[in-house]
Amino acid sequence: MVLRSHVFKRLKALKDPSASVDGGDEEQQQESFDFTKHSPNSWIHRLFHRIFEKLQDYRCEKSRSLFIEHSCSSLGCVDYDIALSCQCNRLCEGYGNCCSDYYGLCDTCEAFGGCLDYDNRHSCQCNVDCSSFGNCCSDYESFCGSGAPDNCVGRCGTSPDATKTCQCDADCSTYGDCCSDFTSTCSGTTTTTTTSSTTGATTTTTTQAPTGDTCVGRCNAALDSSKSCQCNTACNTYGDCCPDYSETCGGSGGGGGLDFNVYASDLWARDVNRIDSSSYTVNIQTELSSSSNNVDQAPSKLFSYFDEATIYNTGTFVQFKTLCDNYEPNQGVTEDRDSNQDDLNEQTAYLDAIMATSLMQHAVTKLAEVGLVADAADFRSKLITAFFDLYQRTASDDSSGFEHCFCGEWKSSTQVNGFHNWIQFYELEKQGALDYYGNFGMSQPDHLGVQFYWSGRKKPLTSIMLGVSTEFELAIYMACFLENPGSQTSFTITDGANSWPIKVQTYTQNTVHVGSAYFIS
C-alpha cells in the first residue's frame, strides 16, 4: 500500500508540477526527477519513467503527423488509407479528398488497373470511346491503344492466339501466359464458342476467371479494396464482380425475366403525351464525321419551329418545364434544392403527374410482375432515390440522376456532362445559351445524335429522343437500371408494321442512384 501510494503521488506530480508531493518537496515536483533513487522498488519507478517518456514521444509524433501534407508522388497510387491526409486512389475523385498531385499522376489507365469501361468517377477514361469524346487519360494510347502491349480488352474467353504475346482464356493461369490485365478485365464468367471442323456443331463453354475471392458471406457488402473482386450491384458497373456473384447473390440486378421488347412497345403505345412532329420542326443540317469536331457546321438552330402553346400545355410537360431551373449546373457546387420548398413542391407535382399516367401505371404492373418493384409506392420510392435524391459527383450534394440526364451539368469550364432531353435543348437554344454544331445522324423513332456548346462548354456527342414524354424515358431508364444496372440493354420497339432496334446505357452512382442513363445514338 505504501508503494502504491507513492507511485500515485509521483503520477500526480507528472500531471501537475505545481502540486505538492511528499510534504512539498520542490525537487520531487520536477518532471525530470530521478526515479532510480527511490527504493525499495526502483525498477518499478524506472518502468513508469520509461512509459511516460514513450507516451510523450508518441503525442509529439502524432501531433506532427496531422500537419504532414501527403502527396501521390511520395505515397504512390495506393489504396485508401485512413491515416493519410489525402488519397491517391480512384475513389478519391468521388469523395473529394485527392492529393494535390493526383491528377496527372494517378488518373491514368495504368493506375486505374486497365482498359476499363466508362467510369463516371474518373476525370479521364480508358475505353474505346474516349477518343470520340475527347476524354482519354494521358497514357491511353500507350496503355490501351495501338501502341499498347497485348491485353484482354475484347478478348476475354477467346481461344489462344499465337500472334499475341499473352492470352485471355480460362487456361492462361495454368500455362502462365495471361495478359497483365486478365484479372481486372476478365473477372467473372467468360464464354468461349468453338465450332467443330467436322460436324459444324457449335459449342459454347462458360468458365470462371480464376480468383481466390468469392461472394460467399459477402453479398451486398461494401467495397473491400483488399479483395480482388466485389459482391454488390455496383460490381456490374465497374466490371469487378466475383465469378460466383450471380450464382451466390442472384446478381441479375432484380427479379429477372422482364421482356424488354414487350415492355418498351407497350410503353410506346401508351405514351399519350408524346408530341406529334407537326408541333415542332428540326433542321439537322450538317452531319458530322467525328465528335472531335470543334467547328460550328450548323449555322441555324436545331429547332426551326416549336409550338410552345401546344407542347407546354400537354400532359406532364406542364410540370416538367418548371424543374431544370431548380438546379445549379456547375458540378462541384452544392445544390440548395432541398432547402427550397417551392422547388420541392414542383418536384412533387411532377412526380404526382407522371405517376398518374397510364404509361407509368403499366410500367409499375410489369416491373412488379417480375419482382423488380413491390407496388406503385415502392416504384415511386425507388424512382426518387435513383433520379431525384442528391448525391456527390464532385462535391457534397452537387448532382442527381435527373439533373444529369434531363437538364445537363457543367463538368468543368470546358465540358458539359449528361444532357439527353429534347425539351431542355430547345429551351437553352431559345435563350441563346446553347449553340448547335451539327448532328451524327437521325435514327427511328426520331432519335438524334448531336454536338453543341452550352455557355462555352462543349458536349462532343449526346443523344436526344425527339417528341417523347419524360415519363416514357423514366420508365425505360428505371427498368434498365433495376434489371441491368451499369450495362447496355438492347430491345426492339414495335409499332404496327414498324420495328426499331434500341439500346439504352445506364450507369450507377453509389449503387442506388443513377449516374447516367440515355438512348445510344
Tell me the C-alpha distance between 411 and 389, whole Å.
Answer: 19
- Residue 501 preceded by cis peptide, ω within 30: no
Helix (H) or strand (E) holding 501: strand 498-509
Counting other chains too, the contacts that 97-106 makes at CB distance below 8 Å and 24 or more residues apart are 99/70, 99/71, 99/72, 99/75, 100/71, 101/71, 101/72, 101/73, 102/72, 104/138, 105/72, 105/73, 105/77, 106/72, 106/77
Look at strands 457-465 and 447-454 and give their pairing: antiparallel
Nearest to 403 by CA among 416, 223, 94, 96: 416
Task: Indicate if 503 belongs to the active site.
Answer: no
The three-state DSSP-derived secondary structure of 384-434 is HHHHHCCECCCCCCCECHHHHHHHCEECCCCEEECCCCHHHHHHHHHHCCE
Q: What angle do CA 417, 423, 426 make, to 5 degrees?
A: 85
Tell me the C-alpha distance between 282 and 436, whole Å.
Answer: 11
- CB-based contact 360:374 (threshold 8 Å): no
Task: Indicate if 6 belongs to the active site.
Answer: no
- CB-based contact 361:376 (threshold 8 Å): yes
Tell me the C-alpha distance between 502 and 499, whole Å.
Answer: 10
Catalytic choice (411, 447, 459, 513): 459
Catalytic choice (49, 366, 420, 458): 420
- CB-based contact 127:145 (threshold 8 Å): no
Buried b (16+ CB within 10 A) or exposed e, 284-321: bbeebeebebeeeebeebbbeebeeeebeebbbbebbb
Task: Find where cell 404492373 sits.
Answer: 365
Helix (H) or strand (E) holding 514: strand 513-519
Catalytic choice (122, 366, 404, 458): 404
- Those residues whose C-beta lies under 8 Å from the C-beta of residue 444, and which sit 6 or more positions away, are 498, 500
Tell me the C-alpha distance between 287 and 450, whole Å.
Answer: 9
Task: Indicate if 404 belongs to the active site.
Answer: yes
Tell me the C-alpha distance between 247 and 253, whole Å.
Answer: 12
Bridge partner residues of 507 (DSSP): 516
The residues annotated with a catalytic role in the active site are 404, 420, 459
